[in-house]
Amino acid sequence: MAAPKLVELEDGLQVFASSNMELQFLHEEIFHAGCYDDINLPEHAFVVDVGANIGMFSIFIKRNYPDAQILAFEPAPETARILRQNLDLHGLSADVTVHEVGLGGTADPAAHFTYYPALPGNTTRYPDQKGPAIVALTRFYSSEKVAQRLYRGQDITVPVERLSAYLTDGRPVDLLKVDVEGDELDVLLGIDDAHWPLIRQAIMEVQDYQGRLGAVCDLLASHGLAPAVGPAPMLDEDMVTYMVHAVRK
């Protein structure tokens, strides 16, 4: 497992990361490819960052909305440690609360995940769904490198909680961001009916595996959010991955 290194990106942003390859992708996706450009937040926004990874989205939000408060969730222990390093580095620890848990429809004190040290943002409960991503990478790297290095996984056991356990009655969620490698629908199923009206907008990366995209959109719509679907920037179309941006009607 590579030790995290402090990396300075081309625009001067400095962050700790254990995978330079993934860091460069995240930086381009979040800061330059327009993945989250449609977000519009009020002053003193409350943002829930599910799948916080090493903190690039949280840094993006705080750069654009300095008064925002963020509730961040990251289940992989090593990734959560680097996330906290980056928050400390940028002086954001007071405004970003980190919970080292996964989120799902049912609480589980010992859920099994597959952690990929070379691509930690791909950590998932569903490694069998990584086929399209593996095929896409073999267009740029040898099959041996993809299988034996990039997608060489380790089993980890971490707790999973329901999102409603962390929501405060009456406090609106100005943005729910979800990027959880296959658990998108499960995260939404962990929201109680009483808490759905608090969510003003959601933005999610969803792989359309066995009708998941339609199920996510239907659930959002059933709770008063109008979903719009577009392709995920920078991802191969064979990965059938989409961005869903849903705003309360």
DSSP one-letter string for the chain: -PPPEEEE-TTS-EEEES-HHHHHHHHIIIIIS-TTTT----TT-EEEEES-TTSHHHHHHHHH-TT-EEEEE---HHHHHHHHHHHHHTT-TTTEEEE--EE-SS-EEEEEEEE-TTSGGG-BS-GGG-HHHHHHHTTTS-HHHIIIIIT--EEEEEEEE-GGGGPPTT--BSEEEE--TT-HHHHHHTS-TTTGGGB-EEEEEEE-STTHHHHHHHHHHHTTEEEEEEEPTTS-GGG-EEEEEEEE-
Higher pLDDT pick, 131 / 5: 5
pLDDT of amino acid 1 = 58
Q: Over the stretch 211-229, which tens digit does the pLDDT of each residue have? A: 999 999 999 999 999 999 9
Q: Over the stretch 174-206, which tens digit does the pLDDT of each residue have? A: 999 999 999 999 999 999 999 999 999 999 999
Q: Over the stretch 125-156, which tens digit does the pLDDT of each residue have? A: 998 988 878 777 888 778 888 777 888 999 99
Contact 191, 204 (CB under 8 A): no
Smallest Cα–Cα separation from 162: which of 206, 128, 196? 196
Sign of the dihedral through C-alpha 97, 101, 105, 107? negative
Contact 154, 96 (CB under 8 A): no
Residue 238 has pLDDT above 80, yes or no: no
pLDDT of amino acid 111 = 97
Q: How far is CA 5 from CA 2, 77, 81, in A?
A: 9, 17, 13
Give the start-to-end residue ranges of the domains of the chain.
5-248
pLDDT of amino acid 123 = 94
pLDDT of amino acid 135 = 79
Going by pLDDT thresholds of 50, 70 and 90, the confidence category of residue 162 is very high
143 Cβ contact partners less than 8 Å away, ≥ 6 residues apart: none
pLDDT of amino acid 193 = 96
Domain 5-248 falls under CATH 3.10.20.30:
no
* Confidence (pTM): 0.94
What percent of the chain shows pLDDT beyond 70?
Answer: 99
Residue 163 has pLDDT above 70, yes or no: yes
Q: How high is the mean pLDDT of the chain?
A: 94
pLDDT of amino acid 30 = 95
